[in-house]
Structure 1
């Protein structure tokens, strides 16, 4: 199965590929040095898309090969005619297809929310191919308050007449999670959230995600799924104001799994990875010898 790649070889390349069930899926690859330290796979949240990682991917591509896919039903990837396929099992299968198509053996995963849980699932499915995990505001216990908040806004089909209106609406929904955001920050987030449609702007995901979320059920105890992380370098990022990952659960992830925890001030669900406390922590995590050894890259430490 071959990927279709377009774009300059030394910058950003757009990739399309076919899933096992025939959907046309999309990703962006940020190509840096001729001999990168390794590959980083960036996995976005439930209603998000790969554009969330543009800033982080550009920064990391000075040393790493960075791949940022749009999960099925989001961004440039096709919508699934069967909404029940919007689930972590199907989506992780898509990620293995993407990695195999690109010839990538081992990766470090940076996952936000749903993307973090996908990373954990991939670590269960094939731990030898996961060199490290960054779990952005997600863990084995989900705070019901945050889940209820997400269910309340998923599936919104409102269209907005212009970017200013869309930006204001976005800030109205997510303002509590980003209390220090400037108008410029909100506009940047809006550009990664909405796409033009007709004479207006709509959210860049399949509204059928609402039905898929309503039908989904998490395992009664997700802690066993996190057991493989005991032997995989893991960084946990928690927004100080998060209503999805509690402080107690994050602390337990440190105690039970040996994870490293960074609490991000003035952020709810979820940090955008550009915060002053996140960038050095992420760089230090990616530079650690254990992670580089798992990549087979012991010379670049």
Structure 2
């Protein structure tokens, strides 16, 4: 356990890579005791467990119903091992890693929160681990991905810089993403830098294996993307919430409306002043998410 009360797990998965998970214990037992489902957080393509620190703190200390929260670093991100075979940086492998981590932690069922790529992994889980996900929150992702937004992600990840100070890293993030995130304050950009980068020998670097970006660089505006609606239909039997950034370039409002038609019980939230992908711990987001969680076991 680190000095902040976070339990740190280093878990060896089936191909012997060691992956990291940050475990935030519930602040106190819930009224329902140990039957309260934990929340498992899955980050975006190049992101890591630190993305969820503020969110995990809020949910694990919720006044009415605190829950255990686990945030995962995929292979090649954060404190997890990089994969010596970059061809294994794919959704099916990462979904298998999530199942392995849950098994190692003794988690048989959970509520999942998936940001961007994490939400795509959630589309796969019912097929490979039936019953593991009891409810899902999709953060700025759905069964239709806008190719323009995907190409934009490829461009800025490919151009990720090296910085001489944390202040410079935060300033670069604000310059790049500021137009899509007018709601963010200076402290939010500082926190984003701390979650996205690591310091190595005095240099601030992106905290992921650069090999992750290579498949995105092969995309073009004409690239056909997979039809994920059949996989989305596998989520229809579970409670589902979708969060969309008001200025998102990856998830359209039309797609959210189509999701609602297929899932009549869908909870949806559009976050003003944020793009892809909304920060979940900020005001206007955390309260609706807590309301959704309050309806679950």
TM-score (norm 1): 0.89
Contact 1:112–1:136 (8 Å) recurs in 2: yes
Please tell me the root mean square deviation across aligned C-alpha atoms, in Å: 1.8
Q: Secondary structure at the match of 1:251?
A: helix
Q: Which residue of 1 aligns with 2:19?
A: 25
C-alpha separation in 1, matches of 2:85 and 2:158: 16
Q: How far apart are residue 15 of structure 1 and its match?
A: 0.6
Q: Distance in 2 between matches of 1:18 and 1:156?
A: 32
Matched, 1:43 2:42: yes
Give, in angstroms, the shift of residue 11 of structure 1. 2.5
- Give the structure 1 partner of residue 233 of structure 2: 227
Q: What does 1:120-269 correspond to in 2, within 5 Å?
A: 120-156=123-159, 158-214=161-217, 220-258=226-264, 259-269=266-276
SS of equivalent to 1:226: helix
Unaligned 5+ segments in structure 2 are: none
CA deviations on 1:212-234 (whole Å, 9 max, x unpaired) are 43468875311001011110100
- Local SS of the residue matching 1:128: coil
Q: Which residue of 2 aligns with 1:3?
A: none
Equivalent residue in structure 2 for 1:69, among 54, 72, 78: 72
In 1, Cα distance between equivalents of 2:82 and 2:179: 30
- Segments of structure 1 that go 5 or more residues without pairing to the other structure are 1-5, 293-301
1:231 is paired with a residue whose SS is coil
Distance 1:263 1:98, change over 3 A: same
CA distances 1:127-156 after superposition (whole Å, capped 9, x unpaired): 312110000000111111101100102244
1:48-71 alpha-carbon deviations (Å, 9 max, x no partner): 100010011011113111100111
1:297 aligns to what? none
**Partner in structure 2 of residue 278 of structure 1:** 285
How far 1:170 moved relative to its partner? Answer: 1.2
Deviations 1:74-119 (A, max 9, x none): 0000111111111110001111110000100001001100011111
Q: Is the 8 A contact 2:58 2:281 kept in 1?
A: no
